[in-house]
Chains A and B, each alone.
Chain A
Amino acid sequence: MRAAVPLLVYATLLATAVPRLLVGVSWADRAPRLAICLWQALSVSVLAATGLAGLALAVPTAKISGDIAELLRACVMSLRASYATPGGAVVAGAGLTLTTVLMLRVGSCAVAGLVRAGRARRAHAAKLAILARPAPGLDAVVIPHPAAAAYCLPGRARQVVLTTTALETLSVDQLHAVLAHERAHLTGRHHLVVAGADAFARAFPTVPLFTAARAELARLVELAADDAASRQHERLSVAAALVALAGGGSPDTGLAAGGPTALGRVRRLLQPARPLGTARTMLGAVLVAAVLVTPVAVAAGPILAVTHALYCPLTLPVS
Chain B
Amino acid sequence: MRGLGDLEAVVMDRLWSAPGPLTVRAVYEQLREQRQIAYTTVMTVMDNLHRKGWLHRALAGRAYRYEPTRSREMHSAEVMSEALADSVDRAATLMHFVEQMSPEEAQLLRDVLARAGRASGSLDASGETSVGGAV
A residues with a Cβ closer than 8 A to B are 113-114, 116-117, 120-121, 124, 126-131, 143-145, 147, 149-154, 161, 163, 178, 181-182, 185, 190-192, 194-195, 198, 214, 218, 221, 236, 239-243, 245-247, 249-250, 252-256, 258-259, 261-263, 265-267, 270-272, 274
Contact = CB atoms under 8 A, between A and B. Distances in A.
10 smallest A-B Cβ distances: which pairs?
A247-B106, A256-B86, A259-B105, A258-B99, A195-B92, A150-B97, A253-B84, A249-B100, A117-B92, A270-B116
B100 A253 contact: yes
Given A124-B82, A182-B97, A262 B109 contact: yes
A259 B110 CA distance: 13
B47 interface: no
A73 B80 CA distance: 62
Specify which of B110, B113, B128, B132 lies most central, judged by the most chain A CB atoms within 10 Å of its CB: B113
Given A131-B76, A143-B80, A263 B94 contact: no
A147 B64 CA distance: 36
Interface in B35-82: 52, 54, 72-73, 75-77, 79-82
A221 B112 CA distance: 22
Interface of B: 5-6, 8-9, 12, 52, 54, 72-73, 75-77, 79-103, 105-110, 112-113, 116, 120, 128, 131-132, 135
Contact of A145 (B5, B76, B103): B76
Contacts of B116: 236, 239, 270
Nearest to A258: B99
B99 A256 contact: yes
Contacts of A255: 100-102
Q: Secondary structure at chain A's binding surface: helix, strand, loop or mixed?
A: helix
B94 A113 contact: no
19 contacts: A120-B90, A129-B5, A129-B6, A130-B54, A144-B72, A150-B98, A191-B91, A191-B92, A218-B91, A245-B97, A247-B101, A252-B81, A254-B84, A256-B86, A259-B101, A262-B99, A263-B105, A265-B98, A271-B135
B76 A246 contact: no
